[in-house]
Amino acid sequence: MASNKKEWIKRNKKTGLLLLVLIAYGLYLLIAGTFKGVYFQSNEWIRSIVGESCPTPYDISYYASAEQDFLFFTSIGLIAFLLGLRDPKDESLAAKVKYIFPEVEEQSHHFSYLIKEIDEMSCISTNTERTIILEEFLEQKNGEIEVVKISVDTKVSVTNIHHNNDFKHDKLTFGMKSDGISDEKGIKGQIYDLSIIYDGERREKFIDGVHTLKDEDEFRRSYSLTLKPKQKAMYNAHAWLWENLATPLSFIASRYTEEAVLSFINRSEKGLKIKDLTNNETQEFPIGEKITIKFNNIEPGMRRSFELSVLQET
């Protein structure tokens, strides 16, 4: 609260000084005019203090002109003061963009683009947790490739950092693509959950029951996200796929993320190695072990990739 007051005083410093000058000037006109006999001559008490005086035509003309100037500049100063009472952060998003980029025409495509980009940046992830479980290997007749069942549980905490504007995005998409590998039942993977929980209470689901990949290799589902200013929500996705172990696992940030946690759990029957392709580090991943990787301040579009391989027995 104290910092907001300081910001307001700093922003309206010039307007405040103008009003103080006008007030001082008005007091000067009132006092000087009273002693000249222009004002309050009908008031006996004031006349007893300043004495009787007869203003000259020049005095009357001078103070009449000064009054008009005073009233004009006071009106201008008052309007500027009242406009300054509204904090820029309380303006609409379009008004804020116009304030930052005054040279861009409001009716132009560029202006609409700026509004869209700033609006998209207003929804950030404060925390993203992704758990990747390697559950079991699929027996292959030729034995040329290692196929593993990978289950991914994703929880993304998002918040609208706008001060007074809603965030609404109708073009968000969840996508999952398999390597075309299926088990003896013809199942390539399944999606168990795709939903958003608002404020820890209201859940909005985007699939009914369990969606199974059989005839198709890819699943895509569009959904919308609407958040009030400073509102929070939790995005959830839970799915599994049969994957070629040689295919790197990649994770791309869709929005600015303050903190991300990746947890790899090996529940399969084989010891593994995991290589972080970003920093070229490799570590062993024995049966039953859990590896947790944390990173912060991820910008949209940043990719983190990992390569898994079977640990050769010695």
Q: Rounded to the nearest 5 degrees, what angle is found at the Cα of 156, between the Cα atoms of 176 and 245? A: 40
Domain boundary, last residue among 61, 86, 111: 86
Measured CA to CA, the distance from residue 307 to residue 292 in angstroms comes to 15
Run means of pLDDT, 10 residues per run, the chain, 314 residues: 56 68 77 71 68 71 74 73 68 85 91 89 93 87 76 94 83 82 89 90 87 86 87 93 88 92 93 90 91 92 90 69
User: Are residues 149 and 49 part of one domain?
Assistant: no
Domain that holds residue 135: 123-310
User: Are residues 74 and 97 part of one domain?
Assistant: no
User: Are residues 116 and 174 part of one domain?
Assistant: no
User: Are residues 157 and 272 part of one domain?
Assistant: yes
- Residue 129 C-alpha from the chain's centroid: 19
User: Are residues 77 and 96 part of one domain?
Assistant: no
User: Are residues 94 and 219 part of one domain?
Assistant: no
User: Are residues 32 and 110 part of one domain?
Assistant: no
User: Are residues 114 and 13 part of one domain?
Assistant: no
User: Are residues 292 and 185 part of one domain?
Assistant: yes
Q: Rounded to the nearest 5 degrees, what angle is found at the Cα of 27, between the Cα atoms of 22 and 29? A: 95
User: Are residues 130 and 65 part of one domain?
Assistant: no
pLDDT score for 141? 62
Strands 167-177 and 211-213 come out as unpaired
Measured CA to CA, the distance from residue 31 to residue 258 in angstroms comes to 62
Domain boundary, last residue among 38, 60, 86: 86
- The closest of 92, 206, 228 to 158, measured between CA atoms, is 228
We report the CATH number of the domain holding residue 282 as: 2.60.40
Do the Cβ atoms of 188 and 232 come closer than 8 Å?
no
Domains of the chain: total: 3
User: Are residues 228 and 184 part of one domain?
Assistant: yes
pLDDT score for 67? 75
The DSSP secondary-structure symbol of 279 reads T
User: Are residues 240 and 159 part of one domain?
Assistant: yes
pLDDT score for 312? 74
Three-state DSSP class for residue 88? helix
Measured CA to CA, the distance from residue 129 to residue 104 in angstroms comes to 40
